[in-house]
């Protein structure tokens, strides 16, 4: 019998910022909302199931835009075995990821970086290239 293999190519139609900050997830969402005049709200935790390991529960905040979204994801999580795991393991120094999708180009990522960099609670803000991440599939939350 001949086997047929289905290959799926994902599209990563969002931009991503990496944030380094020691604050809790709800305070980070509050800081971003205040600095960028947004209204992200807490959504249910994102649960990721792995075939070869324990499941992850990632804290997330979300804002729906007319033609896109803004999503805050925490990188570090405690899994079901009470061990520390990461959403993107190759970026362990990054505490949060801010995903921005805006098909109208009204949202300026450069503006986001400059405003968030001025906040004393945020130590570092960096724009990341999604295509260079090994674990980029973990960022697909739909």
Label each residue of 76-131 as H, E or C: EEECCCCCEEECCHHHCCCCEEEEEEECCCCCCHHHHHHHHHCCCCCCEEEEECHH
pTM over 0.85: no
85-99 confidence digits (pLDDT tens) = 888 888 889 999 998
pLDDT at 54: 67
Q: What is the pLDDT along the chain (142 residues), one digit of tens a residue?
A: 788 887 776 666 778 899 999 999 899 999 999 998 889 999 888 777 766 666 778 888 998 888 888 889 998 887 666 778 888 888 889 999 998 887 666 677 888 888 889 999 999 999 988 888 887 777 776 5
């Amino acid at each position: 019998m001949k086997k047929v293999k289905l290959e799926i190519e994902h599209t990563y139609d969002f931009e991503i910022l990496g944030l380094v900050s020691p604050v809790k997830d709800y305070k980070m969402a509050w800081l971003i909302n205040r600095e960028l005049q947004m209204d992200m709200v807490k959504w249910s935790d994102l649960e990721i199931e792995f075939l070869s390991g324990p499941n992850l529960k990632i804290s997330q905040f979300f804002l729906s835009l007319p033609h896109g979204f803004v999503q805050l994801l925490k990188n570090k999580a405690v899994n079901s075995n009470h061990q520390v795991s990461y959403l993107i393991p190759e970026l362990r120094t990054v505490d949060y990821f801010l995903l921005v999708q805006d098909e109208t180009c009204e949202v300026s990522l450069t503006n986001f970086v400059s405003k968030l960099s001025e906040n004393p609670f945020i130590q570092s803000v960096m724009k990341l290239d999604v295509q260079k991440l090994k674990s980029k599939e973990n960022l697909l939350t739909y």
